[in-house]
Amino acid sequence: MARYRVGLETRERILAATRRLLSEVGIEGVTLKAITDQAKVGAGSFYNLFDSKDDAVFEVVREAVEAVDPDPAGAGTDSLEDLVDAFVAFMTGSSPIARIYLQLAGRGLTDTGIAVRVLRSHRRRVERFTDAWQREDPTLSEREAQQRAETMLAALTGLGMTTLMDPGFDMRTHAMRLLPDSALVRGA
């Protein structure tokens, strides 16, 4: 039991160090040595818990996304408005981590391992938005709902990029305009 607790504590130290480094120096400055030095652990301890530096970075991003998830259990209770709010909260409240997320997505263009992980995350998000679209408008076919989900996510990603480059940009106002009228009426 004590070994398990020590492992959990070591894991959290590594993740905390990764978070700090990402916030302070960005993804380019995050190295295995920097993580292990800040966490005060050896490389062997790191590799007992993570396969690579990227695994630790992805875990930090996953935790930040999960922290704003309106339905972390994936029970299908989130509305389009909930999902849009969560996306906005991630982009505006976790800006260093949101910036890293977008940088990782860009690295997926040249690194197939990263591309697989980013696409898997994107597909889960599309599924959640598709499901919410179908609950919002039961007359939509799954294909139509999926197309709307993809379009909405593309728009939200673009708004998120603008937000990260222009701190004065009001992402929430623009994002709410993406919702169907019925969602806006309910939210008013």
Task: Read off the CATH number of the domain in which 13 is found.
Answer: 1.10.10.60
Domain presence at residue 44: yes
Tokens of residue 47, six digits? 């590799």
Output the pTM of the full model.
0.82
- pLDDT of res. 134: 95
Residue 80 one-letter amino acid? L
- pLDDT of res. 95: 77
Residue 22 one-letter amino acid? L
Residues 95 and 141 placed together within one structural domain of the fold: yes
- pLDDT of res. 105: 87
Burial class of 6 by CB neighbour count within 10 A (0 to 12, 13 to 18, 19+): exposed
Number of domains in the chain: 2
Query: Which range marks the domain in which residue 129 is found?
Result: 68-187
- pLDDT of res. 76: 84
List per-block mean pLDDT (blocks of 10 residues) for the chain, which spans 188 residues. Answer: 72 94 88 95 94 92 86 86 94 85 87 90 93 95 97 96 93 95 53
- pLDDT of res. 185: 46
Per DSSP, 160 falls in state: H
Give dist(CA 85, CA 131) in Å, integer: 16
Residues 88 and 126 placed together within one structural domain of the fold: yes
Tokens of residue 19, six digits? 């978070």
